[in-house]
Chain A
Amino acid sequence: MSRRRVRGRVLLLAFLVLCVGIITLDFRQTQTGPLQRVQEFAAAVVTPLQRGFTVVTRPVGNLFTSLAELANLRSENTRLKAEVERLNAAADQSDVFEAENVTLRRHARLRESFASMTPVTAQIIGNSSTNWKEAVQIDKGRAAGIRPDMAVIEPDGVVGKIVPPVTRTSATVLLLTDPSFGAAARITEAEITGIVTGSGSSENLSMKLVDNDANVSVGDAVETSSFNNGVFPPTIPIGEVTAVGEERAALDKEVEVEAAVNFRNLEYVDVLLETGPRIAFRGGRADGG
């Protein structure tokens, strides 16, 4: 009994050392370390499953009602009832398709609004599995030209950016709402720039202003700026100012920003294959009508 316990402790110690080793490796690795490979492998294993579960959860009614039991009149009755149900389901489904059509049309318009390139529209197949990271997985990857540090937007505004792991057929998007995210932003009305950061799940964004004397008011629009060699092209909507913080001496002024994108209902996103401040973005919001 006691020897077993000792062996358990030895095993625990071995695995704890292994964990610490991995953490160290993670801290030391650059963009393409050995862990990156392992990460891509893990993503390649799990994303097909995620794709499967996403298909299951999408509101596609079961159209394959059994037509096998048509032997007698009683089953004729059943069949007709099933037919009615099927038609109802088909009607429901046409609503779903119509809504999806509207969504995809908006994405098509967004794609046309870039002068120099065509963004890739991708579907979201998985969400962050923890409460400490705000991220999603999408169904397009290296094969579609997606690389880390590319901007991800949707017709309402900024969604986030591509981060590793990126596999051939999937990629990961770090969302604007993640606390480790920072984007150069601008409030045109107040003529001021700053950095927008996330504050965790379903919370508002916060924006640190570079100038304490700025005259920011609630309702001002916040958009990306060409502040430095950032990820995003300028003038893409980020959100709207919802609260202006109290000015504290010697501290940066901070304002609260409500994101333009509804992160809870995201289904499709657009990845900009070229990023940086030089990309021409014609005309503000790509939605409407």
Chain B
Amino acid sequence: MAVRAKDVKPRTGGEIGLKRAAALTAVIVVAIAVQSTLLSEATLLGIVPQLVLVVVVSIAYLEGDRVGIVTGFTGGLVQDLLLPESIVGLTALVYTLIGYTVGVIRQYSIKESVWTPVAAVAAASAIAEIGYAALAILLGERWVSLIYTLKVTGLVVVYNTLLTPFVFPLVRRVADRFRPERVYRW
């Protein structure tokens, strides 16, 4: 790279700051509570939208792969822990991979567009639901049927995509509000 590496310090995981980490954790916990109360009442044909996934993708898109990994792991794990009789760690695994992938891919999006996060959420939702179903079947949950998986995936993609224009700006505002003071050298 032509820019002198010493002057432009890339933002790394260590620089995220305690306050900011706390704020983003709070966002995830609130998202889980909202998803299991308000949104689970306001279903689309009986299907609950995955607000936590939208938040994970938003944060990974804004903050990069490493924050994406940690966020995905945390969001997925808390969701797993609150579900009874489920395979703990499965959602965490899927969301960790998604957080990383979104964080890496965002570097290749050439220009800033409002549609990029929306497209990222749509793709991530499809991969997350199909991935979860596939892993659940591999781990012995025999009841998961193809038709139900397709129904869940289709509706979650639609619902999550519709939520993104509202959720993404909110997450960005929280992230910006708690951005650590940095020294800019020109």
Contact = CB atoms under 8 A, between A and B. Distances in A.
Interface SS of chain B: helix, strand, loop or mixed? helix
Interface stretch (B32-40, B114-122, B165-173, B174-182): B32-40
Given A7-B66, A129-B52, A19 B73 contact: yes
Given A200-B148, A201-B46, A46 B89 contact: no
Contacts of B126: none
A15 B83 contact: no
A39 B78 CA distance: 8
B84 A129 contact: no
Contacts of A174: 84-85
Interface string A47-80: 0011011100100000000000000000000000
B88 interface: yes
Interface size class of B (residues with CB under 8 A): 35 or more
Interface size class of A (residues with CB under 8 A): 35 or more
B13 interface: yes
A131 B152 contact: yes
Interface of A: 1, 4-5, 7-8, 11-12, 15-16, 18-23, 25-27, 35, 38-39, 42-43, 45-46, 49-50, 52-54, 57, 125-133, 135, 137, 163-165, 172, 174, 178-180, 197, 199-202
25 contacts: A4-B10, A8-B65, A12-B69, A12-B100, A16-B93, A18-B73, A22-B92, A23-B89, A23-B90, A25-B89, A26-B88, A27-B87, A43-B81, A46-B33, A125-B37, A127-B40, A129-B52, A131-B47, A133-B86, A135-B85, A137-B82, A165-B81, A172-B84, A200-B148, A201-B43
